[in-house]
Structures are given as structure tokens and as C-alpha cells.
Amino acid sequence: MGQNYLDVKAKFIRGFSDKTRLQILECIKNGEKTVSQIVEELQGNQSNISQHLACLKGCGIIVGRQEGKYIYYSLRNEKIKEMLELFDEVLNQVQTEVAQCDSHLY
């Protein structure tokens, strides 16, 4: 594994490392939604949500499909959904340690 590969891998993983982005991913995990639907469900700010959607799209985690004047966002594929479910599974096993961890840089 070369350094460049690890840099790209770290960028990809950072796509999952924000609370708002995780909320967006959970929101679209079971089906595509427009920005307006995501904003309404998360009770967020459209500008902020749009920036996070751009990040997720840029990281290859989600895709957008244009239909008329709307863009529908969804997970890139079933593997991303499986990864989110695996995160939940692993977190359930280590939740106490993670909650108590204060040694990581944020």
C-alpha cells in the first residue's frame, strides 16, 4: 500500500467523520431524497446541508440524480449502506470505550 493510496483512503474515511454528514447518510440510507427533504428531516440549514452533500459527493459516498429542477441524492451503492450498518454493529461493541476516549484529535 503506497502513501498516495493511504492519503486517498484517509480522505474517504473523513467523509464519514462529521455528525451532519452521518445524519445525511442515515436520512438517505433507505432511499433517495432531495435537498429540501433532507433539510426538512434534519431541521438543518440548506446552505450547510448543501455543503455537506457536496463533500459526500466529492468523496464518492453519494450520487445525485437530476430530475427536472430537483436533484435526488442517494448512497452510491449497497456497499456504502452495508458499511454504515457495519459501523453501527462495531460501535455497539465499543461504544463505552469510544464515549470515554479523550486521546483522539478532533
Banded pLDDT at 105 (limits 50, 70, 90): low
| Percent of all residues in the chain with a pLDDT value above 70, rounded to a whole number | 97
Mean pLDDT, rounded, for 17-28 = 97
Q: pTM for this one?
A: 0.89
In a domain, 105, yes or no: no
Instruction: Give the pLDDT confidence score for residue 106 in this predicted structure.
Output: 53
In a domain, 13, yes or no: yes
Query: What nine digits make up the cell of 6?
Result: 493511504
In a domain, 45, yes or no: yes
What is the per-residue pLDDT across 56-104, written as a single tens digit (0 to 9) for each? 999 999 999 999 999 999 999 999 999 999 999 999 999 998 888 887 6
User: In the block, which residue shows the cell 456497499?
Assistant: 79
In a domain, 68, yes or no: yes
By residue range, what is the domain housing residue 18?
A: 3-100
CA 29, CA 31: separation in Å to the nearest integer? 6
CATH number at residue 13: 1.10.10.10
In a domain, 85, yes or no: yes
Number of structural domains (the chain) is 1
In a domain, 106, yes or no: no
